[in-house]
């Protein structure tokens, strides 16, 4: 394949890249506390269906997460519809869950907007103990996460736009073979990115009713292990001409700038992440209404993880949530608000990498609405 330079006005790749396109868009796994397990323990119907919808945008940013970032790139909006099907067989409940996350990020420079989609597929098994007044549940589940391949057409750095087919591109790498064969000039995207992960999670929920009061105290303890693999490719990596690689730009060679580009992106080799989580919840029952509050935290440990630029790592995250439920005869509807001290650390493994770590310094919040249906 031949790579032909066009319109090389100036070139400062420097260290910036566009890994944020998959990382600052939150791809959150569904989170709950012991109330969910206690509800299912009390409603042992054969088939259960849960559906919910999680959403975030600037209008819902009541904790000023976006303003706290202080950066030219920031999450814009994100939505996550999720569906779970479970079948109760005695004290056992196998279940499957499907989610698709769509998110976007905006920038003051090229690329002005980046959109990303990821799919979550979960299979699990729960064993229930006791009853709705005093009992527990143990769950083992495996989740496969895959983000669609994402092309970044153009990227601007230090006033220079690297293309890509955008009109304002100052520098382009064009498909030389296609140009020679057809005369058509087609520029390569400056970066192509994708990611995938596989996660295994074990959790235990236990609860008990507080004396004769309509209060349910719940505890949730979880441990998850995830392997993550990010893939990033740029046609700049294919340049082999010593003349081009040694070309100076503002005191640096093109080759050194490409090396810095690689260092700024998430590592090519897979790494592993272990997350220990705990939540304490209190639920108050008032007729058909349930009011729930929970406080918890996550601690994250990474293995085989590297960042040549030595950016700060974040390992702990506090979580505060509030829920309102309304119960019908064979159904329930709920609304949940969540706040995190450090973005989605320990909540969504795909979101964190060396490029996106700066987003995890700040608190974050989101809203979820959903319902549960039970069938005999």
The pLDDT of residue 234 is above 80: yes
Q: Quote the pLDDT of residue 38.
A: 81
Residue 4 domain flag: no
Residue 182 domain flag: no
Torsion over CA of 26, 32, 36 and 37, rounded to 10 degrees?
A: 120
Residue 25 and residue 28: Cα distance in Å, rounded? 9
* Sign of the CA dihedral running 343, 346, 351, 352: positive
Q: Quote the pLDDT of residue 247.
A: 73
For the chain, list the strands marked E by DSSP. 3-6, 47-56, 73-87, 92-107, 113-130, 134-152, 155-157, 160-163, 171-175, 191-209, 215-233, 248-249, 252-253, 271-286, 289-303, 316-327, 331-340, 364-375
Residue 164, sorted as left (phi over 0), alpha (psi -120 to 50) or beta, turns out to be left
Q: What is the CATH number of the domain that holds 221?
A: 2.40.128.130
Residue 333 domain flag: yes
Non-local (6+) Cβ contacts of 201 within 8 A are: 139, 140, 141, 142, 143, 222, 223, 224, 225
Residue 182 and residue 185: Cα distance in Å, rounded? 9
Residue 295 and residue 280: Cα distance in Å, rounded? 5
DSSP readout, 94-112?
Answer: EEEEEEEEEEEEEESSSSS
Q: How confident is the model at residue 277 (pLDDT cuts 50, 70, 90)?
A: very high
Residue 6 domain flag: no
The pLDDT of residue 224 is above 80: yes
CA distances (Å), 221 to each of 34, 39, 77, 203, 208, in order? 10, 18, 30, 6, 15
Residue 114 domain flag: yes
Residue 338 domain flag: yes
Residue 254 domain flag: no
Residue 204 domain flag: yes
Mean pLDDT, range 37-48, rounded to an integer: 80
Mean pLDDT, range 14-43, rounded to an integer: 49
Which residues form the domain of 74?
23-148+194-236+262-375
With H, G, I as helix, E, B as strand and everything else as coil, classify residue 352.
Answer: coil
The pLDDT of residue 26 is above 50: no
60-64, 100-104, 188-192: range with highest mean pLDDT: 188-192
Domain count, the chain: 1
Q: pLDDT per residue over 159-207, tens digit each?
A: 667 767 888 877 777 776 666 677 677 888 888 888 999 999 999 999 9
């Amino acid at each position: 394949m031949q790579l032909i330079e066009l319109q090389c006005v100036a070139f400062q790749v420097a260290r910036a890249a566009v890994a944020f396109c998959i990382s600052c868009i939150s791809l959150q796994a569904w989170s709950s506390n012991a109330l969910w397990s206690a509800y299912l323990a009390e409603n042992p119907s054969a088939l259960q269906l849960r559906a919910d919808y999680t959403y975030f945008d600037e209008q819902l940013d009541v904790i000023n997460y976006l303003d706290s970032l202080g950066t030219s790139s920031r999450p814009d909006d994100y939505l996550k519809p999720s569906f779970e099907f479970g079948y109760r067989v005695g004290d056992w409940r196998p279940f499957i869950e499907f989610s698709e996350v769509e998110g976007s990020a905006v920038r003051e420079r090229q690329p002005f907007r980046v959109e990303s989609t990821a799919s979550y597929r979960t299979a699990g098994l729960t064993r229930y103990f006791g009853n709705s007044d005093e009992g527990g549940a143990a769950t083992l589940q495996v989740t496969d996460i895959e983000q669609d391949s994402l092309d970044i057409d153009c990227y601007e750095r230090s006033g220079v736009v690297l293309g890509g087919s955008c009109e304002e591109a100052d520098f382009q790498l064009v498909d030389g073979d296609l140009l020679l064969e057809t005369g058509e000039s087609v520029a390569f995207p400056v970066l192509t990115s994708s990611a995938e992960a596989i996660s295994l999670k074990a959790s235990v929920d236990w609860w008990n009713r507080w004396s004769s009061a309509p209060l349910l105290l719940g505890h949730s303890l979880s441990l998850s292990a995830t392997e993550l693999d990010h893939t990033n490719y740029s046609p700049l990596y294919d340049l082999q001409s010593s003349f081009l690689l040694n070309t100076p730009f503002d005191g640096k060679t093109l080759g050194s700038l490409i090396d810095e580009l690689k260092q700024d992106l998430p590592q090519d080799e897979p790494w592993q992440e272990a997350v220990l989580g705990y939540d304490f919840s209190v639920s108050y029952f008032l007729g058909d209404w349930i009011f729930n509050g929970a406080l918890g935290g996550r601690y994250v440990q990474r293995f085989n993880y590297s960042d040549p630029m030595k950016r700060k790592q974040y390992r702990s995250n506090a979580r505060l949530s509030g829920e309102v439920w309304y119960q019908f005869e064979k159904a329930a509807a709920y609304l949940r608000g969540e706040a995190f001290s450090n973005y989605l650390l320990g909540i969504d493994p795909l979101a964190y990498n060396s490029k996106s770590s700066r987003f995890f310094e700040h608190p974050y919040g989101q809203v979820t609405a959903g319902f549960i249906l039970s069938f005999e």
